[in-house]
Structure 1
Amino acid sequence: MTDMVRAINPTAAISNAEEAKAAARASAIAIFLGVVWGIIGVAWLMGPGAAVMEAAMAEAAAGSPEAAGMTDMMAGAALGFAGVMVVIQLILGLVQWFKPNIVIPILFTVFVVYGLGSTALGMAMADQMELGAAAATPAWQTWGGIALMVVQLIMHIAGIRGASAMRKFRDAQAY
């Protein structure tokens, strides 16, 4: 356990292949944290979030009778898309755990930075957008997501360092 905690530290020195593999797996742990958060989000969408999402869509479609008929379909599509994304994340997390590489941590670092940026921009522009009260994301989901993304960013950076060190150790062993 101490080795894994040390491996998650993106500034820790990596001195052998095992430490490099543990650091690369930090990215998989970050992905699994995202899977858990995604499952919580999907469960919320299936429960109280469904009513919130339907109210927001009905409010947005109030001026357009054509759009009003599509709200149920869109709510189902949003829930299905969220579920599919959680499954894809789980698969990529398993790949990173069993066969650590540098591509997945880099990809998820980009996603996390994008998520942080879009969340911050959305919060900064919330007063300027004409969204109804029904469209507001719950505060626990917003702030929990931000905190999780910061932790994930740190872990993905450690994963990039670990995967890079793994490649160096593998190349040194080949010669």
Structure 2
Amino acid sequence: MSNWLKAMNPASPITTEADAERAAKASAISIFIGVVVGLIGLAWTFANPAAMQDAVAAASQNDPAAAAASQAALQVGLWMGAGLVVIQLILGVVQWRNPGKFIAILFMVLIAFGVVSSLAAPLMADMAPGMPATPMWQVALSVVIMIIQFILHVTGLKGIKQLDRIQMEQSR
């Protein structure tokens, strides 16, 4: 267990192939953290139908056509969220089996976008009166989790680079 914790530290030196492989897999661990967060979000959404109905009611403003459109958009959003969690799980498995730079960099970009989106959410809620706002504790927790994920991807890239270097030296 201590080897894994050491490998996930971006400041720890990588000297062996096993250390490099563990550090490279930190990227996959970050993706799996995202899968867990996504599943928790979906479970919370399904467990709180009142919050979903409040959002639909706020968006529709007593207009039946707008209510139908809001309900349809909600369903599409839920299915899309579930689909993205499945895609993220698949990419996490791929990254675990064969750590690659592309997936790590892709998720780093997505995480950076997520941090900006999370920080902008309270500002956007002020622009739409009557819409349910995301609680600040949830925004702060999301940002902390995304920063941890970003650090794990940085560690993963460091491990991938070192693993490539070690394997190249071994093949000579």
Taking structure 1 as the reference length, what is the TM-score of the superposition? 0.89
Q: Distance in 1 between matches of 2:54 and 2:126?
A: 21
Specify the alignment match of 2:158 in structure 1: 161
Distance in 2, Cα, partners of 1:131 & 1:24: 45
SS of equivalent residue, structure 1 residue 82: helix
Distance 1:69 1:127, change over 3 A: closer
Report what 1:81 is aligned to. 80
Counting only pairs closer than 5 Å after superposition, residues 1-175 of structure 1 correspond to structure 2 as 1-48=1-48, 50-62=49-61, 64-123=63-122, 125-126=123-124, 128-132=126-130, 134-175=131-172
Work out the CA distance in 2 between the residues paired with 1:110 and 1:131.
31
- Which whole-Å CA distance do the structure 1 matches of 2:50 and 2:64 have between them? 20
Tell me the alpha carbon deviations over residues 141-167 of structure 1, each in whole angstroms, 9 at most, x when there is no partner: 322211211111111110111111111
AA partner of residue 144 (structure 1): L
Q: Which runs of 5+ in 2 are unaligned?
A: none
CA distances 1:33-68 after superposition (whole Å, capped 9, x unpaired): 1111111100011111x3213322321222754322
Q: Secondary structure of 1:69's match?
A: helix
- The one-letter amino acid paired with 2:36 is V
Measure, in 2, the Cα distance between the counterparts of 1:64 and 1:27: 46
**3-state secondary structure, aligned to 1:11:** coil
Unaligned runs of 5+ in 1: none
The alpha carbon displacement at 1:135 in A equals: 2.3
With normalisation by structure 2, the TM-score equals 0.91
- Tell whether the 8 Å contact from 1:54 to 1:71 is kept in structure 2 after alignment: no
Deviates more, 1:79-88 or 1:141-150: 141-150
Native 8 Å contact 1:8 1:23 kept in 2: yes
Deviations 1:88-130 (A, max 9, x none): 111111111111111111111111111112212333x247512
Which residue identity lines up with residue 164 of structure 2 in the other structure? R
- How many residues are paired up? 172
Task: Report sequence identity in percent.
Answer: 37
CA distance in 1 between partners of 2:56 and 2:169 (Å): 57
